[in-house]
Structure 1
Amino acid sequence: MDSRSHEQKDDILSEELTVDWRGRPSSYKKHGGAKAAVFVLGVQAFEIMAIAAVGNNLITYVTNEMHFSLSKAANIVTNFIGTVFILSLFGGYLSDSYLGCFWTMLIFGFIELSGFILLSVQAHLPQLKPPQCNMLTDGDECIEAKGVESLIFFVALYLVAIGSGCVKPNMLAHGADQFSRSTDSNKLSTYFNAAYFAFSVGELVALTLIVWIQTHSGMDIGFGVSAIVMAMGLICLVSGTIFYRNKPPRGSVLVPIAQVLVAAFVNRTQVSQSNSQMFHGTQNEHWSCISMSNETGRLCHTDRFRFLDKAYMKKQEGNNNNAKEISPWRLCTVNQVEQVKILISVFPIFACTIVFNTILAQLQTFSVSQGSVMNNHITNSFRIPPASLQAIPYILLIFLVPLYDSLFVPFARKLTGHDSGITPLHRIGVGLFVATFSMVSAALMEKKRRDSFVNNHHTLSIFWITPQFLIFGISEMFTAVGLIEFFYKQKLKGMQSLLTAMTYCSYSFGFYLSSVYVSLVNKITSSSNHGGWLGDNDLNNDRLDLFYWVLAGVSLINFLNYLFWARWYNRSSNSSCKLHLHSTEQGFPNAHNSA
């Protein structure tokens, strides 16, 4: 039996039981597969379409109609985006532990919809907003929203944030749940590419059509369109109910993790044992690759984080005790400990993507500012809004993603033998490496733009900065999809939604880190007569190009750091998981029974 056969059996054993919408065991012939995943892809496209249209143009509404100052408005927008991404952890936890993906999406989808409706109502009714500036008679200053006006606005905004944050991780996890990791591995990889394609389409429509409606027909109509789009997403979700395979919740996923940490601390004075009988939860003497129950699958013992091994070590005087009489807070199973090891192991990979999203933050802030001081005229009467530059990579990706899946993946699969063409870790690495060149391009173009204006008083066309958006779009296709696939395929039973939510937390941390970089660079480069590279609020006086070069260097260092952790992850995952052919075939449960 070769290693690939062992891996296939491991995947079969690790499959979780799924149910249909009535709670009965699902059928692989009637439920799941591409027909079910299509409905989830529809939900994803509609949801991102609705939320992106609000998030990308929210600062316009906050400053022009709610009359908050620019600094307050910027904080409102960044806090809103950060809340959406942070709440994805709560949505993933709630789904895995108590509600399941479908019900979490349905409940919080309606909460998000109610937020869009309330935003539209407030934007439409003058009595729910502060008076317009030109209607004031006692001065030029606009009256900032306060009292009931402010309360309704923030209630509506954070209804959207709560709903979107809890829906996002479950869309990806629920769509992937429609495929078997053992028999549909190729289709699962295709699904993740299709999910990113749906995301790109939604972003493209939001940044072009819906933003245009907001600009020309009013924010009340624009928010109303977002509400209609979100309602279409919920209709799409409910329409696929009878086709879904649903993974039932398994109770709090945090309690088993806490039990391992507590048990390891309680047993910290235990001496390491090599006798398999001293390990709780093992029946097979060949404990280097322990077979667990059919429902749980099997996890191999690894040498990483050996301090956690003491969580499953029995005391010698308690060898004959019944395991049921031992508190799970004092003694855990090997399988339980190994899952905690996996969870800890993925954190360095996650951390390496934070810098990647810091670069994304530059494209949504400084690169848009670049566009605002460039020539954005196409004709005398038509101009490109600088914010619409963010749509450029998505135009490329709606063509590139299908080509990647239909041409590159089959070609790479022949060379590597991997179902996805290249492994998720390789895919993340390619994206992190390419992202560096996005900042290199941004630095070169900003230097050219600044020199052209300062030396020759010539304003360059806005199209000069499109390469940095295009390069980052390609890198995002590799990194974002690779990270989602990497997290989902971890053998952590019942935690797929929570792990998927970590990808969104990376966005949040990346934006926060961007603020730290800006403040730190300004502080280091400031002098008595100069406020730093980014201190003048004028790109023609600032040195944004040098700031981009710093980020390019940070990105390259981050890529090298990622290579170290990716190799460490592979080495620590596989080095101690050595299968013994004789013991494995004797102790391996029947694959058909376990499925």
Structure 2
Amino acid sequence: MSIQMTDQFCGMQEAQKADNTTDGSVDLRGKPAVISRVGGHRSLAFTLGCIFLIRVAYDGVTYSLVLYLTRKLHINNSKAASDVSNWIASTTIFSLLGAIVADSYLGRYWTCLGSMIIHIIGLLLIITTTALPSLEPHKCTGSSVGCTETTGRRLNVFYLGLYIVGVGFGSFLPCLISFGADQYDEGHPVEVNQKSLYFSMLYVAISSGGLIGNSIIIYIEENISYKLGYAISVGFVAFALLVYISGTPYYRFQKPRSNPLARIAQVWVAAARKWRIKVSAPDNHLYEAPVEKEGIRKLVHSNQFRFLDKAAAVISSPEEVNESQRNPWKLCTVTQVEEAKFLFQVAPIWLSIVIYSTLDVQILSLFVEQAATMDNRLNKFLVPPASMSIFQILAVCVCTFTYESVLVPFVRRFTGHPRGLTMLQRIGVGLVLIVFAMLSAALVEINLVRIANNHRLHNNPTSKVPLSMFWLVPQYLLVGASEAFTDAAQFEFFYDQAPEGIRGISTSLQLTAYSVGGYLSSFLIIVVTAITRHGTNSGWISNRLNNGHLDYFFWMLMILGSLNFVSYLAFSHNYKYKKTVPDQAATDPEQRS
């Protein structure tokens, strides 16, 4: 009997071990995560629900920001557009900070938790600038044109709160994206497909949250009070915090590893120390750790960027490769070298996304300013100009659903790819669509200025041009369709292709592309304004848009986006998808493409 019970116990242990994840993740108690108990779709409602609620609050501030700056703080159009671009850029820069903290010290779970608390603090500070008489913007009777621009403590406290929100949201987003993907084990055949679906659902959740933020929250801000709108945003973030904590027993956790930036720096230093040596037979003379640690899979050595292979070259005594004695600043593993190579390999793709985001960010600034000059009546209902982005969000949701349910099965017949198109092909589709969005914006602006001139409204900043704001719908739909292809594929690409040790950095890298794109947009606006505004000429981006040539700026962006797509074709064609040990080339669907 005892022998039989022992055999049964051992059999149960073996079965449970077989059901453990292969990526080193653990459950709440710190034990190896069991696939049938934690993670997977069990955690989906909590992670996606959390990001949905956070996005409602964030977009409720973001999409009305340019109008708050111009109408309440009385900042001129070009400076307001530049400030919005700078804030968006800074917000995504903070994602890099969040990724480093999560990967190296706190882990993704605790970093997400802390980021939401910071987000709430920033929103509360913004609310004080709308509630306290000593901080709220000064009133301006009549037209806001010619009002004194808000400066000093009023403006500084508002921007302080705004940038604290940026720290919170920027740190939160890459960590939660990666944390949600961590719930799916790449070594499990079923969860591999579930993870790909997760990224599509993730972007739908982000867009759906934006739909609420861009409709209900913005309507409250513009028609009732900004103070009430910002207070509701605080409530959404607080509820998101509660949802996130409620899912804790169902999560899988990845332990923090060594600092990813330090790991990459070690490769550079070790390679520089051996710059004189030649690696004649890389596969035979490069060092790799004898065992996998903390769920990090070994990467296959590649022949790209061979100068970094010197970091893993073994040139001295056997003691050099002893794990307990090895100096990582002198000798690195092949997997560590491949992590450093990854950043070089995706750099051209990253640059293409920078240009893409330069065009995409216009939906938060110039598109809104363009809408503000037009007739915003829908029967007797006045539609807030910032709420036009509802059409962008609807396009994201519809295109994502159509792609997953209709296009994937159809395109799969021709490509043989289980996802219809590869990740890079989906990004390319988005790059094309954003160019057509700029074309649509330019054509509408030409018609808008023509009508303003015919009605002698080009010098009357307070009058609405008798052209319906809904003529802007096509450009918003094109931007949304573009994001449905590009953004979801980017999230998946920068997570899936990154080695396990630098996935947080990789996810934030994709977000920093939007940051640099935002700064580039701000730079272009400043340069174009400086060059085109002289004397009585108000320039392309005038304080009175109908007296300028905003269409010229959109034409310029369209040309920039077209050149970006051409260069992207060359970069993406030469990209090679990653391999791990054992070689997965035969089974990796992306590799076959």
- Alignment TM-score, normalising by the size of structure 2: 0.85
Matching of residue 300 in structure 1 with residue 310 in structure 2: no
Matching of residue 231 in structure 1 with residue 231 in structure 2: no
Contact 1:21–1:242 (8 Å) recurs in 2: yes
**TM-aligned CA deviation for residue 22 of structure 1:** 2.4
Rounded to whole Å, the distance in 2 between the matches of 1:13 and 1:22 is 14
SS of residue paired to 1:126: coil
- In the comparison of the two structures, how many residue pairs are matched? 553
Provide Cα deviations, 1:273-327, integer angstroms capped at 9, x if missing partner: 21755322277xxxxxxx9679432312111111101111122x53565534442
**TM-aligned CA deviation for residue 249 of structure 1:** 0.9
How do 1:68-217 residues align onto structure 2 when only pairs under 5 Å count? 77-129=84-136, 132=139, 144=150, 146-147=152-153, 152-182=157-187, 183=189, 184-217=191-224
Q: Which moved more, 1:37-46 or 1:386-395?
A: 386-395
Rounded to whole Å, the distance in 1 between the matches of 2:494 and 2:486 is 12
Contact 1:278–1:319 (8 Å) recurs in 2: no
Contact 2:78–2:526 (8 Å) recurs in 1: no
Contact 2:313–2:331 (8 Å) recurs in 1: yes
Rounded to whole Å, the distance in 2 between the matches of 1:70 and 1:549 is 19
Matching of residue 244 in structure 1 with residue 243 in structure 2: no
How do 1:418-429 residues align onto structure 2 when only pairs under 5 Å count? 418-429=417-428
Rounded to whole Å, the distance in 1 between the matches of 2:321 and 2:89 is 48
2:404 aligns to what? 405
2:568 aligns to what? 562
1:469 aligns to what? 476
Contact 2:538–2:548 (8 Å) recurs in 1: no
SS of residue paired to 1:299: coil
SS of residue paired to 2:65: helix
2:225 aligns to what? 218
**TM-aligned CA deviation for residue 398 of structure 1:** 2.8
**TM-aligned CA deviation for residue 142 of structure 1:** 5.8
Rounded to whole Å, the distance in 2 between the matches of 1:439 and 1:70 is 19
SS of residue paired to 1:185: helix
1:590 aligns to what? none
Rounded to whole Å, the distance in 2 between the matches of 1:125 and 1:292 is 57
Rounded to whole Å, the distance in 2 between the matches of 1:454 and 1:322 is 77
Unaligned runs of 5+ in 2: 1-18, 457-464, 587-593
How do 1:267-286 residues align onto structure 2 when only pairs under 5 Å count? 267-274=274-281, 276-281=283-288
Contact 1:14–1:491 (8 Å) recurs in 2: no
Contact 2:82–2:526 (8 Å) recurs in 1: no
**TM-aligned CA deviation for residue 442 of structure 1:** 1.7
**TM-aligned CA deviation for residue 497 of structure 1:** 2.4
Q: Which moved more, 1:345-354 or 1:320-329?
A: 320-329
2:16 aligns to what? none
Contact 1:14–1:297 (8 Å) recurs in 2: no
Identity score, percent: 34
Matching of residue 260 in structure 1 with residue 267 in structure 2: yes
Provide Cα deviations, 1:342-381, integer angstroms capped at 9, x if missing partner: 12211211110111111122232222232223222222x3
Provide Cα deviations, 1:174-230, integer angstroms capped at 9, x if missing partner: 111111224222211211111111111111111110111122331221111001111
**TM-aligned CA deviation for residue 526 of structure 1:** 6.8
Rounded to whole Å, the distance in 2 between the matches of 1:438 and 1:275 is 48
Change in Cα spacing, 1:541 to 1:64, as seen in structure 2 (3 Å) is closer
**TM-aligned CA deviation for residue 562 of structure 1:** 0.6
2:389 aligns to what? 390
**TM-aligned CA deviation for residue 400 of structure 1:** 3.0
Change in Cα spacing, 1:520 to 1:299, as seen in structure 2 (3 Å) is same
Rounded to whole Å, the distance in 1 between the matches of 2:552 and 2:36 is 58
1:432 aligns to what? 431
Rounded to whole Å, the distance in 2 between the matches of 1:400 and 1:33 is 25
Contact 1:48–1:199 (8 Å) recurs in 2: yes
Change in Cα spacing, 1:494 to 1:322, as seen in structure 2 (3 Å) is closer
Change in Cα spacing, 1:111 to 1:535, as seen in structure 2 (3 Å) is closer
Aligned AA (1:170): C
Unaligned runs of 5+ in 1: 1-11, 135-139, 284-290, 585-595
Contact 1:14–1:493 (8 Å) recurs in 2: no
1:37 aligns to what? 44
Aligned AA (1:368): V
- Alignment TM-score, normalising by the size of structure 1: 0.85
Provide Cα deviations, 1:393-428, integer angstroms capped at 9, x if missing partner: 112333332232222223334443434321111111
Change in Cα spacing, 1:192 to 1:256, as seen in structure 2 (3 Å) is same
Change in Cα spacing, 1:537 to 1:295, as seen in structure 2 (3 Å) is closer
Rounded to whole Å, the distance in 1 between the matches of 2:473 and 2:436 is 13
The alignment's C-alpha RMSD in Å is: 3.2
Rounded to whole Å, the distance in 1 between the matches of 2:395 and 2:211 is 10
Q: Which moved more, 1:416-425 or 1:100-109?
A: 416-425
SS of residue paired to 1:28: coil
**TM-aligned CA deviation for residue 498 of structure 1:** 2.1
Rounded to whole Å, the distance in 2 between the matches of 1:132 and 1:540 is 26
Rounded to whole Å, the distance in 1 between the matches of 2:97 and 2:149 is 36
Matching of residue 497 in structure 1 with residue 504 in structure 2: yes
**TM-aligned CA deviation for residue 122 of structure 1:** 4.2
Aligned AA (1:559): F
Aligned AA (1:565): F
1:8 aligns to what? none
Rounded to whole Å, the distance in 1 between the matches of 2:453 and 2:68 is 33
Change in Cα spacing, 1:500 to 1:326, as seen in structure 2 (3 Å) is closer
Contact 2:38–2:251 (8 Å) recurs in 1: yes
Aligned AA (2:127): S
2:375 aligns to what? 375
Contact 1:424–1:483 (8 Å) recurs in 2: yes
Aligned AA (2:301): H
Rounded to whole Å, the distance in 2 between the matches of 1:144 and 1:464 is 33
Rounded to whole Å, the distance in 2 between the matches of 1:502 and 1:359 is 18
**TM-aligned CA deviation for residue 578 of structure 1:** 12
Select which of 536, 543, 552 maps to 1:546: 552
Provide Cα deviations, 1:231-280, integer angstroms capped at 9, x if missing partner: 11111101111101111111211111111000111100002221755322
**TM-aligned CA deviation for residue 389 of structure 1:** 1.3
Provide Cα deviations, 1:446-473, integer angstroms capped at 9, x if missing partner: 2233334435768322222211111111
SS of residue paired to 2:254: coil
Change in Cα spacing, 1:97 to 1:117, as seen in structure 2 (3 Å) is same
